[in-house]
Structure 1
Amino acid sequence: MDLHLVTYFVAVVDHGGITKAAQSLYISQPSLSQAIRTLEKRLGVTLFDRTGRRLELTEAGRKLDVAARRILADVDRAKAKVDAVRELRAGRVDVVTYAAFSIDPVVNVVRLFRERFPRLSVRVISADGPGGVLSALRSGDAEIGIMDSAAEHATFSAIPMAEQDLVVAVPPRLAEELPDPAPHSAVRALPLIIDHSDQHTANLFAGIVDDDAKNVVIDCQLPSAVWSLVRSGTGATVLPRTVADRQLAGTRRVALDPPLSRPWGLVLRSGLPSPAALAFISAARAHSGISPDPSDTQDW
């Protein structure tokens, strides 16, 4: 149903007829009459009783009147939220995440956020895994968290976003016999340099880590240190393909069989997000290829 037809219908109801409604809408009377007939045709019902001097709603018309006013109210609320974001002149959003997402998606989302809202700033703080993200939100240190959407998020509101496509980045000397894609059993034979401290990440990597994690030769939470160690030939690591292609171009990037991915999303404190937070959410959705809808939060 076209929104302008809903608006025209409500105007006719409020003004009790076509003539006054057309004047209030600044359109011609024939155009408004045709619009109402179009609406009735699309719905397959008669909306007005035209036997008297004043148009009266039929039963179908009364039902539509309730729904139409709800639709217009929802549209007004959505416009108000969008306007609040567009009219932002200053402000800051505080975001918390951890090592797994510190490059992908944080860098591109923050870049897009700044391009769209150049007068806003963002503070990104580091946490120790999903639990640290929720703790920062709970204490008020941050308004938005970026974390693994498969992890427990307690009672926080959340917006699922996208998935990281994970690959193995292997130094040339360790990659000679490695097929592409590599079965998990082949990766278990490699010395790995990964962040194995987060239990959820450890569970995700369970298929490529051998018994007692003996092939995890370096457990490191610092991405830049991991990359340097891989480039030096010390071992292989598992990371998003986009990050591997940019940071470890001199290594061999190998897909996994079966594929390994990590979903991520935003977690929010309870209550209405600030306009700056809504702006950040819209940037994250755009980065993920999701249609903009800043009011769309749900529980995972």
Structure 2
Amino acid sequence: MDLHLVTYFVAVVDHGGITKAAQSLYISQPSLSQAIRTLERRLGVTLFDRTGRRLELTDAGRKLDVAARRILADIDRAKAKVEAVRELRAGRVDIVTHAAFSIDPMVAMIREFRERFPRLAARVVAADGPSGVLAALRRGDAEIGLMDAGADHATFTAIPLGEQELVLTVPAASAADLTDPVPRPSVKTIPLILDLGDPGASSILGDLIDDDSRNVVVDCAHPSAAWDLVGRGTGATIAPRVVAEEQMPGALRYRLDPPLRRPFGLVVRSGRPSPAAMAFIAVAKGHVGVTTDPTDFGEL
């Protein structure tokens, strides 16, 4: 049933006849009469009793009147919700990332996003490495991925954002013989706490790990546990500088020679992102000082 036929029907009911309803709808009386007859023909019922001067609803017409008003009300509510999303007065963006970026830069980006768009919500989905991020995007679990920019992103749209500095973070009691920066070969003699199961970390930290991973004294997949172990003097770890400063304040931080940096960026599914996703992309770019290009997905 065409929506305009429903609208015409309700107008005739409200105005008690074709003439006034046609005037309110700015259409001709014959056109409105034909539309009502078309509606009756499609439904296979008579909607109005036409014996008197004023059109009266039949039993079938009264039942349709209730249903029609419900349909129009639902459509009005749906339009209002869509308009609210379009104007960033409502909505949510789903972002997927893996452990390497779950704190830096994700936390700061989410905070800025909420400060700038307080009526929008964000949902952060956890994934197992870059491949997990891409898998979540393919499944539709998220609209945006934050991941290692060096990983193969296949057919997704990539938005490079910057680099994450990784530093050697060492318990204060274990740092007596270290100089800043620490040559990378020297790290192979230091007891480390790392997640050997993280393919992204393993590839970038390969030259810091001794043969057979003998200097990895704790293979830990839980970042918070690794940070606590460093704080308790169990070993050192490699962490983003921001994470090391915020999560392990009692430890000492050393640069590496040559420096160790991990590029990161956003990956987005094909097509135009939702308004909330476009807002997050703009915030993420602004956070790292990347100028927003309106041609990426249309003007933000």
| Residues 294 and 135 of structure 1: CA distance in aligned 2, closer, same or farther (over 3 Å) | farther
Aligned residue-pair number: 215
Partner of 2:141: 141
Question: Which segment is superposed worse, 118-127 or 216-225?
Answer: 216-225
Give the secondary structure class of the aligned counterpart of 1:293.
coil
Over the residues paired in the alignment, what is the CA RMSD in angstroms? 1.7
TM-score by length of 1: 0.69
Q: Distance in 2 between matches of 1:99 and 1:113?
A: 20
Q: Distance in 2 between matches of 1:98 and 1:178?
A: 31
| Residues 294 and 194 of structure 1: CA distance in aligned 2, closer, same or farther (over 3 Å) | farther
**Contact 1:85 / 1:278 at 8 angstroms: preserved in 2?**
no
Establish whether residue 286 from structure 1 lines up as the match of residue 286 from structure 2: yes
| Residues 86 and 138 of structure 1: CA distance in aligned 2, closer, same or farther (over 3 Å) | closer
Offset of residue 102 of structure 1: 0.7
Give the secondary structure class of the aligned counterpart of 1:158.
strand
Q: Flag structure 1 segments of 5+ consecutive residues without an equivalent.
A: 1-82
**Contact 2:94 / 2:141 at 8 angstroms: preserved in 1?**
yes
Q: How do 1:36-115 and structure 2 match up within 5 A?
A: 87-115=87-115
Partner of 1:157: 157
Partner of 1:235: 235
Output the amino acid matched with 1:192. L
Partner of 1:182: 182
Moved over 6 A (4+): 83-86
| Residues 156 and 273 of structure 1: CA distance in aligned 2, closer, same or farther (over 3 Å) | same
Q: Distance in 1 between matches of 2:161 and 2:172?
A: 34
| Residues 294 and 283 of structure 1: CA distance in aligned 2, closer, same or farther (over 3 Å) | farther
Output the amino acid matched with 1:200. G
Partner of 1:129: 129
Deviation by residue 1:230-281 (Cα, 9 ceiling, x = unmatched) = 0000110111111111111111100000000000000111111000000010
| Residues 88 and 286 of structure 1: CA distance in aligned 2, closer, same or farther (over 3 Å) | same
Q: Distance in 1 between matches of 2:189 and 2:294?
A: 45
**Contact 1:171 / 1:236 at 8 angstroms: preserved in 2?**
yes
Give the secondary structure class of the aligned counterpart of 1:93.
strand
Deviation by residue 1:194-235 (Cα, 9 ceiling, x = unmatched) = 222122321100111111111112222222111101000011
| Residues 294 and 173 of structure 1: CA distance in aligned 2, closer, same or farther (over 3 Å) | farther
Offset of residue 293 of structure 1: 2.6
Q: Distance in 2 between matches of 1:106 and 1:194?
A: 21
Q: Distance in 1 between matches of 2:140 and 2:114?
A: 23
Question: Sequence identity of aligned pairs in percent?
Answer: 60
Partner of 2:207: 207
| Residues 257 and 85 of structure 1: CA distance in aligned 2, closer, same or farther (over 3 Å) | farther
**Contact 2:85 / 2:91 at 8 angstroms: preserved in 1?**
no
Question: Higher Cα Rg: structure 1 or 2?
Answer: 2
Q: Distance in 2 between matches of 1:207 and 1:220?
A: 19
Partner of 2:54: none
Partner of 2:70: none
Partner of 1:51: none
Q: Distance in 2 between matches of 1:84 and 1:201?
A: 41
Q: Distance in 1 between matches of 2:162 and 2:256?
A: 19
Q: Distance in 2 between matches of 1:212 and 1:121?
A: 45
Q: Distance in 2 between matches of 1:85 and 1:248?
A: 40
Q: Flag structure 2 segments of 5+ consecutive residues without an equivalent.
A: 1-82
Deviation by residue 1:160-188 (Cα, 9 ceiling, x = unmatched) = 00100110110012211011100011111
